[in-house]
Structures are given as C-alpha cells and as structure tokens.
C-alpha cells in the first residue's frame, strides 16, 4: 500500500463513472447552489457549520455524494475534521456507493489510503471491515498517531503484528477485537503501551471464567467492557464485576442469559450502565410489562438496552 499523497486527489480519480451524480435531488440549482426549504442557498452556510455536519456522515457520502453537490460542499468535505471518524464496517454498501469493482481487499486498501490522506493526523477512530488484516492495522498505526479507538473483527490477526501496531498507538483509549487476541501477552502489551486505555469490546461466541480472568488481570483499569451477542457464564460475569474495580459500563446484551442472579444484580449496582438480556424470571424481576407483549424471540427489551440498569429496575419495582 502506498503512502498517503501530500495533496489528496480529487474524488473523481477514485470514481470516474459519474454514476452517483444522477442520485441528487432536483433542488440542485443550475447556478451551482442548493436551495433549502426557505429558498436560502445551502452553499451559503459557513465552512465551520458544513464541516460540523459532514463530520457526522459516512465515508461513502463524503466520497460519492457531498463533493458533487456544489463547490462549497466539495471544499468543506476536504477539511480533515470531516474525516476524523472512519467507519468501513458496512463494506458492501460502501463499495457499491463508491463504485468499487476489484477485489475487496485491493479496493479497501486504496479507499483507506484516500481517507487517511484526507483526515491527515486528525483521525481519532476507525472501524475496519471484517476482512481487514494486520497490514491494514499497521498502516493505520503508521499514519494515524492520534488515534483513540479502532475496531478490527478479523479473527486471523497475528499476535506479533498486532503488538507491533499497538506500540504506535500512544493515545489509544479503546479497541474492539476478536477473542483470538484476548490473551495475557497481547492485553498486557496494550496496558503497557497505552496509558489511557479504558475501553474494550470483544467479538466472541462464548465467554468463560478463564477469559474473564485474563481481561481482569491484564487490563485492571478498564472502565467500559462490551461482550455482546455471546454466551457468557455466571462465573465469568462475577469475575468481571469483582476484578475490574474501575468498571462503570458493562454490556453483555444480545443473548438470553440464565446466569443473572440476585448476586450478579447486587454486584452490578455499582455500575452506571449494566446491559443484559434475559427471559428467565427472578422472582418479580423479569421483562417490563410495557414491552413483553411486543417482544419476539431473541429480541431484547428496549427498556433494558436503552436505559441505565438501576433506573430501569427502579421503574418496575
């Protein structure tokens, strides 16, 4: 993969088909402006406001939509702050919108290079697609020194290459990784290299007591832990609650868990956020009456997922 160019190329070099140009509404004015409902030209908006808006849209829109509206939007979309958070997780949609036609890994390498060249050193978070590998991660490590968070779900990441990349993330706060990287060697290296590290998400089908112990022993300062859509044992939950003294956010939602006992609930009362799913009754503790008539199998109660656990418990007691 080549190094980011000093002067980022225009988007047309990546997608010269012009296919996306026909997707814009008829409100685009012949003079190059775009009129809002009040008749005001949207390209009259200040650059700061445009940047604030564009920093919240997806990579595919920054590439395939925004630059084609008008010159003001095109210029604003080149600002590095628009590219500070890069989300490539929904690669099928992104590749279609941008017009990728080659091998996914090749197209992604070029798109990653382009996005990083735009974001420069302002990129703070990046979410890689399922197929992204250690080469992509090391490339990010070399060109995004200010990165605070990354997600790489690929289970086939070399421990050596991962640790090599981690050593370059001085300001890393959190990461989302596959269970294959949840071991003492890797997590202790993260703890040594990243003094601000407090957030971890694990992609796994099961979480047992042994894996929970590795997390507690290697990352004792964790404040936020997400282990969703997996089978997790009661012992593992208790180990996490007892071992992570600074934990304030625990999300184990996405699976019907039989191990949420009164002991777990009592220990979890110290947390600001505790999210879990269960249709197993604990005395009077069950799904709230507002949601249970509308629930489908494997669909979590919105009250559990969207509110802090203790607030929800108080409302139904």
**Which contacts of 264-270 are long-range, i.e. CB under 8 A and separated by 24 or more positions?**
264/234, 264/237, 264/238, 265/313, 267/238, 267/241, 267/242, 268/241, 268/309, 269/310
Helix 91-98 × helix 104-119 angle, to 10°: 80
pLDDT, position 258 = 64
Q: Could you tell me the pTM of the whole model?
A: 0.73
pLDDT, position 159 = 95
Taking the alpha carbons at both ends of the chain, their separation in whole angstroms is 58
How many whole angstroms from its chain centre is CA 113? 19
Least confident of 13-27, 60-74, 164-178, 208-222: 13-27
pLDDT, position 282 = 41
The 10s digit of each residue's pLDDT in 241-265 is: 999 999 999 999 887 666 678 888 8
The 10s digit of each residue's pLDDT in 292-302 is: 444 333 344 55
pLDDT, position 19 = 32
Element (H, E) at 252: strand 249-256
Q: In the structure encoding, which two tokens stand for residue 82, read together?
A: 């628009």
Q: How confident is the model at residue 155 (pLDDT cuts 50, 70, 90)?
A: very high
Q: How confident is the model at residue 311 (pLDDT cuts 50, 70, 90)?
A: low
The 10s digit of each residue's pLDDT in 136-151 is: 999 999 999 899 999 9
Q: Which residues pair with 175 in a beta bridge?
A: 150, 200
Residue 218 has pLDDT above 60, yes or no: yes
Show the domains of the chain with their CATH numbers: 42-82 (1.20.1280), 89-285 (3.80.10.10), 286-316 (no CATH)
Answer with the residue of higher pLDDT: 292 or 80.
80
Dist. CA 53–CA 48, nearest whole Å: 9
Least confident of 12-16, 92-96, 127-131, 158-162: 12-16
Write down the number of H helices and E strands in the chain: 13, 10
Answer with the residue of higher pLDDT: 216 or 41.
216
Q: In the structure encoding, which two tokens stand for residue 144, read together?
A: 């995004």
How many whole angstroms from its chain centre is CA 215? 20
Q: How confident is the model at residue 29 (pLDDT cuts 50, 70, 90)?
A: very low
Selection from 136, 142, 148 nearest residue 91 by Cα: 136
Other residues' Cβ atoms within 10 Å of the Cβ of residue 242: 12
Residue with tokens 């089978």: 231
What does the pLDDT average to over 13-42?
41
Contact (CB, 8 A) for 111 and 71: no
């Amino acid at each position: 993969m080549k190094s980011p160019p000093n002067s980022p190329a225009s988007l047309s070099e990546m997608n010269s088909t012009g296919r996306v140009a026909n997707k814009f509404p008829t409100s685009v004015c012949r003079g190059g402006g775009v009129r809002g409902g009040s008749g005001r030209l949207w390209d009259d908006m200040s650059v700061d406001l445009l940047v604030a808006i564009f920093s919240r849209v997806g990579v595919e829109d920054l590439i395939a939509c925004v630059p084609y509206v008008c010159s003001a939007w095109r210029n604003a979309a080149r600002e590095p702050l628009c590219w500070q958070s890069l989300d490539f997780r929904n690669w099928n949609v992104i590749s279609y919108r941008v017009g990728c036609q080659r091998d996914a890994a090749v197209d992604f390498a070029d798109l990653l290079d382009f996005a990083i060249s735009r974001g420069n050193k302002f990129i703070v978070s990046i979410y890689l697609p399922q197929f992204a590998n250690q080469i992509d991660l090391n490339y990010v490590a070399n060109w995004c020194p200010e990165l605070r968070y990354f997600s790489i779900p690929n289970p086939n990441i070399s421990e050596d290459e991962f640790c090599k990349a981690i050593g370059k993330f001085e300001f890393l706060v959190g990461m989302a990784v596959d269970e294959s990287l949840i071991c003492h060697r890797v997590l202790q290296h993260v703890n040594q290299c990243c003094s601000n590290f407090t957030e971890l998400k694990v992609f796994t089908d099961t979480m047992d007591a042994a894996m929970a112990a590795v997390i507690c022993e290697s990352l004792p300062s964790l404040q936020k832990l997400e282990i969703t859509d997996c089978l997790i044992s009661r012992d593992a939950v208790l180990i996490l609650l007892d071992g992570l003294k600074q934990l304030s956010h625990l999300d184990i939602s996405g699976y019907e868990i039989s191990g949420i006992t009164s002991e777990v609930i009592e220990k979890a009362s110290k947390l600001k956020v505790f999210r879990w799913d269960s249709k197993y009754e604990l005395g009077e503790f069950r799904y709230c009456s507002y949601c249970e008539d509308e629930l489908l199998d494997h669909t979590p109660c919105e009250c559990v997922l969207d509110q802090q656990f203790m607030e929800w418990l108080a409302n139904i007691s």
